[in-house]
Structure 1
Amino acid sequence: MKYLPLAARICLALIFLKAGITHLIGFNGFATMLGQQLFLGGLLAAGTIFCQMAGSLSLLLGYKVKIGALLIIIFLIPATLMFHNFLADGEKLNDFLKNVGLIGGLLMVIYTGAGAASLDKGRFR
Protein backbone atom coordinates (compact mmCIF):
# COMPACT_ATOMS: atom_id res chain seq x y z
CA MET A 1 0.00 0.00 0.00
CA LYS A 2 2.94 2.32 0.54
CA TYR A 3 3.50 2.62 -3.22
CA LEU A 4 -0.14 3.29 -4.11
CA PRO A 5 0.26 7.11 -4.00
CA LEU A 6 3.31 6.77 -6.28
CA ALA A 7 1.28 4.74 -8.78
CA ALA A 8 -1.53 7.32 -8.64
CA ARG A 9 0.91 10.20 -9.19
CA ILE A 10 2.46 8.41 -12.18
CA CYS A 11 -0.97 7.75 -13.70
CA LEU A 12 -1.95 11.40 -13.33
CA ALA A 13 1.37 12.76 -14.56
CA LEU A 14 1.89 10.74 -17.75
CA ILE A 15 -0.76 12.46 -19.88
CA PHE A 16 0.55 15.92 -18.98
CA LEU A 17 4.20 14.98 -19.47
CA LYS A 18 3.43 13.58 -22.93
CA ALA A 19 1.36 16.64 -23.86
CA GLY A 20 4.03 19.02 -22.59
CA ILE A 21 6.76 17.29 -24.60
CA THR A 22 4.56 17.24 -27.72
CA HIS A 23 3.74 20.93 -27.36
CA LEU A 24 7.38 21.81 -26.73
CA ILE A 25 8.58 19.94 -29.83
CA GLY A 26 5.87 21.52 -31.97
CA PHE A 27 5.91 24.88 -30.20
CA ASN A 28 5.46 27.06 -33.31
CA GLY A 29 2.42 25.15 -34.52
CA PHE A 30 0.95 25.00 -31.03
CA ALA A 31 1.45 28.74 -30.47
CA THR A 32 -0.05 29.52 -33.89
CA MET A 33 -3.10 27.35 -33.17
CA LEU A 34 -3.65 29.06 -29.81
CA GLY A 35 -3.06 32.47 -31.40
CA GLN A 36 -5.86 31.83 -33.89
CA GLN A 37 -8.30 31.28 -31.03
CA LEU A 38 -6.91 33.40 -28.19
CA PHE A 39 -5.02 36.61 -27.61
CA LEU A 40 -1.28 36.19 -26.87
CA GLY A 41 -1.07 32.65 -28.25
CA GLY A 42 2.70 32.37 -27.84
CA LEU A 43 2.62 33.43 -24.20
CA LEU A 44 -0.27 31.08 -23.45
CA ALA A 45 1.56 28.26 -25.23
CA ALA A 46 4.65 28.82 -23.08
CA GLY A 47 2.52 28.96 -19.92
CA THR A 48 0.73 25.77 -20.90
CA ILE A 49 3.99 23.93 -21.49
CA PHE A 50 5.41 25.19 -18.20
CA CYS A 51 2.35 24.07 -16.21
CA GLN A 52 2.28 20.67 -17.91
CA MET A 53 6.01 19.94 -17.65
CA ALA A 54 6.66 21.35 -14.16
CA GLY A 55 3.45 19.88 -12.78
CA SER A 56 3.96 16.42 -14.22
CA LEU A 57 7.63 16.24 -13.18
CA SER A 58 6.63 17.34 -9.69
CA LEU A 59 4.08 14.52 -9.51
CA LEU A 60 6.47 11.92 -10.92
CA LEU A 61 9.25 12.77 -8.50
CA GLY A 62 7.00 13.42 -5.54
CA TYR A 63 8.58 16.85 -5.04
CA LYS A 64 6.34 19.76 -4.03
CA VAL A 65 3.35 17.79 -5.33
CA LYS A 66 0.79 20.24 -4.01
CA ILE A 67 2.32 23.00 -6.13
CA GLY A 68 2.70 20.65 -9.11
CA ALA A 69 -0.92 19.52 -8.90
CA LEU A 70 -2.04 23.14 -8.60
CA LEU A 71 -0.06 24.09 -11.73
CA ILE A 72 -1.84 21.40 -13.70
CA ILE A 73 -5.22 22.47 -12.33
CA ILE A 74 -4.44 26.08 -13.33
CA PHE A 75 -3.90 24.78 -16.87
CA LEU A 76 -6.85 22.36 -16.86
CA ILE A 77 -9.67 24.66 -15.77
CA PRO A 78 -9.46 27.19 -18.62
CA ALA A 79 -8.49 24.50 -21.17
CA THR A 80 -11.51 22.43 -20.17
CA LEU A 81 -13.92 25.35 -20.29
CA MET A 82 -12.61 26.71 -23.60
CA PHE A 83 -11.81 23.60 -25.61
CA HIS A 84 -14.26 21.04 -24.21
CA ASN A 85 -17.43 23.12 -24.09
CA PHE A 86 -20.07 20.39 -24.12
CA LEU A 87 -22.87 22.98 -24.12
CA ALA A 88 -21.78 24.18 -27.57
CA ASP A 89 -20.86 20.70 -28.83
CA GLY A 90 -22.48 17.68 -27.18
CA GLU A 91 -19.73 15.39 -28.46
CA LYS A 92 -17.26 17.04 -26.09
CA LEU A 93 -19.03 15.87 -22.94
CA ASN A 94 -16.69 12.88 -22.42
CA ASP A 95 -13.59 15.07 -22.81
CA PHE A 96 -15.07 17.58 -20.37
CA LEU A 97 -15.84 14.85 -17.81
CA LYS A 98 -12.38 13.26 -18.21
CA ASN A 99 -10.79 16.59 -17.37
CA VAL A 100 -13.12 17.02 -14.40
CA GLY A 101 -11.99 13.57 -13.23
CA LEU A 102 -8.33 14.56 -13.62
CA ILE A 103 -8.98 17.71 -11.59
CA GLY A 104 -10.57 15.51 -8.91
CA GLY A 105 -7.51 13.26 -8.80
CA LEU A 106 -5.22 16.27 -8.57
CA LEU A 107 -7.31 17.70 -5.73
CA MET A 108 -6.83 14.40 -3.90
CA VAL A 109 -3.06 14.75 -4.35
CA ILE A 110 -3.26 18.27 -2.90
CA TYR A 111 -5.22 16.94 0.06
CA THR A 112 -3.17 13.80 0.76
CA GLY A 113 0.31 14.90 -0.31
CA ALA A 114 2.97 12.86 -2.05
CA GLY A 115 2.93 9.71 0.05
CA ALA A 116 5.84 7.67 1.35
CA ALA A 117 7.71 7.04 -1.92
CA SER A 118 8.60 10.62 -2.77
CA LEU A 119 11.30 13.23 -2.60
CA ASP A 120 9.06 15.25 -0.27
CA LYS A 121 9.28 12.46 2.29
CA GLY A 122 12.94 11.75 1.52
CA ARG A 123 12.16 8.09 0.85
CA PHE A 124 12.44 7.73 -2.91
CA ARG A 125 14.30 4.41 -3.24
Structure 2
Amino acid sequence: MFNQLQNPLAFAGRLLIAALFLPAGLAKITGFAGTVGYIASVGLPAPTLAAAAAVILEIGGGIALLVGLGTRYAALALAFFTLVASFIFHAYWAVPADQTYVTQLLFFKNIAVAGGLMAIAAFGAGGWSLDARRGA
Protein backbone atom coordinates (compact mmCIF):
# COMPACT_ATOMS: atom_id res chain seq x y z
CA MET A 1 0.00 0.00 0.00
CA PHE A 2 2.72 2.49 0.93
CA ASN A 3 4.55 1.93 -2.36
CA GLN A 4 1.46 3.23 -4.16
CA LEU A 5 1.34 6.23 -1.85
CA GLN A 6 5.05 7.09 -2.01
CA ASN A 7 4.80 9.77 -4.71
CA PRO A 8 1.64 11.49 -3.46
CA LEU A 9 2.97 11.47 0.11
CA ALA A 10 6.34 12.85 -0.94
CA PHE A 11 4.58 15.56 -2.94
CA ALA A 12 2.24 16.42 -0.05
CA GLY A 13 5.19 16.53 2.35
CA ARG A 14 7.09 18.91 0.10
CA LEU A 15 4.02 21.14 -0.27
CA LEU A 16 3.36 21.27 3.45
CA ILE A 17 6.93 22.17 4.31
CA ALA A 18 7.06 24.74 1.50
CA ALA A 19 3.90 26.23 3.05
CA LEU A 20 6.02 27.12 6.07
CA PHE A 21 8.92 28.74 4.22
CA LEU A 22 7.30 30.62 1.33
CA PRO A 23 4.96 32.79 3.45
CA ALA A 24 7.76 33.42 5.94
CA GLY A 25 10.07 34.64 3.17
CA LEU A 26 7.36 36.81 1.65
CA ALA A 27 6.54 38.30 5.06
CA LYS A 28 10.20 39.18 5.51
CA ILE A 29 10.06 41.14 2.25
CA THR A 30 6.93 43.07 3.19
CA GLY A 31 8.26 43.73 6.69
CA PHE A 32 11.93 43.93 5.83
CA ALA A 33 12.79 46.74 8.27
CA GLY A 34 11.13 44.84 11.10
CA THR A 35 13.00 41.67 10.16
CA VAL A 36 16.31 43.55 10.17
CA GLY A 37 15.44 45.05 13.56
CA TYR A 38 14.54 41.66 14.99
CA ILE A 39 17.80 40.13 13.76
CA ALA A 40 19.75 43.08 15.16
CA SER A 41 17.97 42.70 18.51
CA VAL A 42 19.59 39.31 19.12
CA GLY A 43 23.04 40.72 18.35
CA LEU A 44 23.74 39.10 15.00
CA PRO A 45 26.23 40.94 12.80
CA ALA A 46 25.15 42.37 9.43
CA PRO A 47 21.41 42.10 10.11
CA THR A 48 20.44 43.54 6.71
CA LEU A 49 22.55 40.94 4.92
CA ALA A 50 21.20 38.19 7.20
CA ALA A 51 17.60 39.25 6.47
CA ALA A 52 18.27 39.28 2.72
CA ALA A 53 19.89 35.84 2.93
CA ALA A 54 16.90 34.51 4.90
CA VAL A 55 14.50 35.87 2.27
CA ILE A 56 16.44 34.27 -0.57
CA LEU A 57 16.76 30.95 1.25
CA GLU A 58 13.14 30.75 2.39
CA ILE A 59 11.62 31.76 -0.93
CA GLY A 60 14.15 29.96 -3.14
CA GLY A 61 14.16 26.85 -0.97
CA GLY A 62 10.38 26.93 -0.65
CA ILE A 63 9.94 27.09 -4.42
CA ALA A 64 12.53 24.32 -4.89
CA LEU A 65 10.55 22.09 -2.52
CA LEU A 66 7.28 23.04 -4.15
CA VAL A 67 8.34 22.02 -7.65
CA GLY A 68 10.87 19.39 -6.60
CA LEU A 69 13.92 20.90 -8.27
CA GLY A 70 17.29 20.56 -6.54
CA THR A 71 15.19 19.20 -3.72
CA ARG A 72 17.90 17.44 -1.73
CA TYR A 73 20.15 20.50 -1.70
CA ALA A 74 17.28 22.84 -0.88
CA ALA A 75 16.14 20.56 1.94
CA LEU A 76 19.63 20.41 3.44
CA ALA A 77 20.06 24.18 3.22
CA LEU A 78 16.65 24.79 4.81
CA ALA A 79 17.36 22.20 7.53
CA PHE A 80 20.64 23.92 8.43
CA PHE A 81 18.97 27.35 8.34
CA THR A 82 16.11 26.11 10.54
CA LEU A 83 18.44 24.56 13.11
CA VAL A 84 20.58 27.68 13.35
CA ALA A 85 17.53 29.95 13.57
CA SER A 86 16.05 27.72 16.29
CA PHE A 87 19.05 28.11 18.57
CA ILE A 88 19.29 31.87 17.96
CA PHE A 89 15.64 32.94 17.94
CA HIS A 90 13.91 30.27 20.04
CA ALA A 91 16.37 29.83 22.92
CA TYR A 92 13.72 28.79 25.43
CA TRP A 93 16.39 28.16 28.07
CA ALA A 94 17.23 31.89 28.10
CA VAL A 95 13.78 33.48 28.28
CA PRO A 96 11.70 34.44 31.33
CA ALA A 97 9.62 31.60 32.79
CA ASP A 98 6.34 33.02 31.46
CA GLN A 99 7.72 32.82 27.89
CA THR A 100 9.29 29.37 28.13
CA TYR A 101 6.33 27.29 26.98
CA VAL A 102 5.70 29.04 23.65
CA THR A 103 9.40 29.51 22.92
CA GLN A 104 10.08 25.84 23.67
CA LEU A 105 7.16 24.81 21.47
CA LEU A 106 8.55 26.87 18.58
CA PHE A 107 12.04 25.47 19.15
CA PHE A 108 10.92 21.84 19.01
CA LYS A 109 8.55 22.51 16.09
CA ASN A 110 11.56 23.78 14.17
CA ILE A 111 13.64 20.76 15.22
CA ALA A 112 10.88 18.52 13.82
CA VAL A 113 10.75 20.53 10.58
CA ALA A 114 14.52 20.14 10.23
CA GLY A 115 14.07 16.38 10.71
CA GLY A 116 11.47 16.30 7.95
CA LEU A 117 13.78 18.26 5.69
CA MET A 118 16.60 15.81 6.38
CA ALA A 119 14.29 12.95 5.41
CA ILE A 120 13.52 14.74 2.13
CA ALA A 121 17.27 15.21 1.59
CA ALA A 122 17.86 11.51 2.27
CA PHE A 123 15.06 10.08 0.13
CA GLY A 124 14.58 12.76 -2.52
CA ALA A 125 11.57 14.53 -3.94
CA GLY A 126 9.69 11.49 -5.20
CA GLY A 127 8.34 10.77 -8.65
CA TRP A 128 6.08 13.82 -8.84
CA SER A 129 8.93 16.31 -9.13
CA LEU A 130 11.13 18.08 -11.63
CA ASP A 131 14.08 16.16 -10.18
CA ALA A 132 12.40 12.89 -11.24
CA ARG A 133 11.69 14.26 -14.72
CA ARG A 134 15.33 15.25 -15.10
CA GLY A 135 16.48 11.85 -13.81
CA ALA A 136 18.32 13.43 -10.88
TM-score (norm 1): 0.92
Post-superposition shift, 1:28?
Answer: 2.1
Q: Which residue of 2 aligns with 1:87?
A: 93
Q: The residue matched to 1:35 in structure 2 has which SS?
A: helix
Aligned-residue RMSD, C-alpha: 1.3
Mapped partners of 1:36, 1:99: distance in 2 = 20
Q: Which residue of 2 aligns with 1:101?
A: 112
Q: Which residue of 2 aligns with 1:6?
A: 11
Post-superposition shift, 1:5?
Answer: 0.3
Post-superposition shift, 1:58?
Answer: 0.5
Amino acid corresponding to residue 108 of structure 2 in structure 1 = L
Q: For 2:31, which of 21, 26, 34 is the aligned residue?
A: 26
Write out aligned runs for 1:1-125 (5 A): 1=5, 2-37=7-42, 38-89=44-95, 90-91=100-101, 92-122=103-133
Q: The residue matched to 1:116 in structure 2 has which SS?
A: coil
Give CA-to-partner distance per residue, 1:15-71, whole Å, 9 cap, x none: 110000000122122112212332211010011111111111110000010111122
Return 5+ residue gaps in structure 2 as ranges.
none
The number of aligned residues is 123
Which stretch shifts more, 17-26 or 67-76?
67-76
Q: What percentage of aligned pairs have identical amino acids?
A: 32
Return the index of the structure with the highest Cα Rg.
Answer: 2
Return 5+ residue gaps in structure 1 as ranges.
none
Mapped partners of 2:60, 2:87: distance in 1 = 22
Contact kept, 8 Å, 2:80 with 2:114, in 1: the verdict is: no
Higher helix share: 2
Contact kept, 8 Å, 2:65 with 2:74, in 1: the verdict is: yes
Amino acid corresponding to residue 101 of structure 1 in structure 2 = A
Post-superposition shift, 1:81?
Answer: 0.1
